[in-house]
Structure formats: structure tokens, C-alpha cells
């Protein structure tokens, strides 16, 4: 599915969020900029936007972008070449079985990954495993606002309008029907924070953005 939509992924993200997804990524990047010296890992890097934001927030840090969709990585490589960016190596990897040793990275980030994992707990455990002690794990996710009235309005937009936009512009209604369904099934921000603590992350906190429809979680390994 992600291979099918790779060519329109950036366009759809901008349309669905009014371009705000870049600001959310910059916030995540600023959050992990104070991580200890060392490598950064951006999981489900897609076309590389969060990896680039992390790199911009800490120019001396090499950021490895990993994704299991080769098509996404091809688009990321084109973007990196166009910007002359050499500090973001890319590779194909499974977030549930990362090809890295324990304590490899000073920080691990992800944007819109977690609700797509077949085993959320295992994915969080892998993120903690590859992060060095004192390093940071940060995740950006869509969430239901949980506010009466606004929650229904958001659900109407996300469940009815987004699939129509996906069909018209990405030629893939199924993918953009899956998107709101994955949000409906996903844990609440509080539950996600509890799961992060359960795998051994400390000082876990989260911040809600965009009228409660976006959550940024951060924990210390």
C-alpha cells in the first residue's frame, strides 16, 4: 500500500494537514536536538521529511532514515539529492526487527509509524533497545481528539472526505480509507505513554497539537 501511494505521499500529507505536518516534524526534531551526541535513527522515514528536520535541528548529527518501502526510499533519495544533503543515509528495514546492535542511537524518531505496526509493543521495545541509555525516543502520531462535538467533526472529515481526496489525487481510495481506520483502532495518547513506560522508557510525556488530533510522545531510554 505504501509503495502504491509513494508518488503522492507528500502532496497528500500537505493537503490533509494544510501543510502543518512540517511544523509537527520540526517540533519533534527540536525535542530530540538535545539528545546525547551520536547517531539518530528515523523509522518509517517515508520520503525523508522528519529525517531532514532532525538533521536541520542538529546539523552535526548523522541521521539514518529507515523504511520498509523501497518506493518511499526512492522518493527520499531524489529529495536528498535535490537538497545536496549527504548526512542522511537510507536503508530498508523492518521496525519490528531492526538490523542494529543494542544502544546504537542517541535518538530514535518516527512519524505516523506506530499505528501501522503489527505488534506495537514489540516495535516500542525495538526502539528502546537500539537507543543508548539517556537517549531519546520520540513519536509523532494522529489521534482522535476525544472532545464531544469536535471528535465527531474530525471523524466526519477523516472518514468521509479524506478517502475521496485520496481517490481523486492519489488514485487509491483504499489506502486513504485504511488511514482513518488505523487511527480509530489505535491506542489513546495516555495508553501509548503507558506502553512506552512498560518497555522501559523513562520520563515519558506527550503533547497534543492541532486541536488534539496530533500527539507527540517522548521518552528517555
Domain positions in the chain are: 2-145+187-220
21-76 residue pLDDT tens: 999 999 999 999 999 999 999 999 999 999 999 999 999 999 999 999 999 999 99
Choose among 163, 153, 162, 145: nearest CA to 210.
Answer: 145
Find, among 14, 63, 22, the residue nearest to 41 by Cα.
Answer: 63
pLDDT digits (tens, 9 = 90+) for 129-158: 999 999 999 999 999 888 888 888 888 888
Q: Which CATH architecture has domain 2-145+187-220?
A: 3-Layer(aba) Sandwich (3.40)
Give the pLDDT score at 124: 98
pTM to 2 decimal places? 0.93
Amino acid at each position: 500500500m505504501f509503495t502504491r501511494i509513494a508518488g503522492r505521499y507528500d502532496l497528500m500529507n500537505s493537503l490533509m494537514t494544510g501543510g502543518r505536518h512540517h511544523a509537527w516534524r520540526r517540533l519533534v526534531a527540536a525535542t530530540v536536538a538535545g539528545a546525547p551526541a551520536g547517531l539518530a535513527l528515523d523509522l518509517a522515514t517515508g520520503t525523508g521529511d522528519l529525517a531532514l528536520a532532525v538533521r536541520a535541528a542538529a546539523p552535526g548529527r548523522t541521521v539514518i532514515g529507515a523504511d520498509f518501502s523501497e518506493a518511499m526510499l526512492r522518493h527520499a533519495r531524489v529529495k536528498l539529492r535535490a537538497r545536496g544533503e549527504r548526512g542522511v543515509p537510507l536503508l530498508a528495514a523492518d521496525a519490528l526487527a531492526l538490523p542494529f546492535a543494542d544502544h546504537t542511537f542517541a535518538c530514535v524518531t518516527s512519524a505516523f509509524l506506530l499505528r501501522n505496526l503489527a505488534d506495537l509493543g514489540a516495535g516500542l521495545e525495538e526502539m528502546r533497545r537500539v537507543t543508548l541509555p539517556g537517549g531519546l525516543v520520540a513519536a509523532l502520531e494522529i489521534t482522535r481528539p476525544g472532545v464531544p462535538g469536535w471528535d465527531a467533526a474530525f471523524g466526519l472529515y477523516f472518514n468521509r472526505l479524506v478517502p475521496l481526496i485520496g481517490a481523486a489525487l492519489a488514485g487509491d481510495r483504499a489506502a486513504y480509507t485504511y488511514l482513518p481506520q488505523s487511527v480509530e483502532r489505535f491506542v489513546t495518547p495516555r495508553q501509548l505513554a503507558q506502553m512506552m513506560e512498560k518497555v522501559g522508557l523513562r520520563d515519558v510525556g506527550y503533547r497534543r497539537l492541532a486541536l488534539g488530533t496530533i500527539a507527540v510522545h517522548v521518552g528517555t531510554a
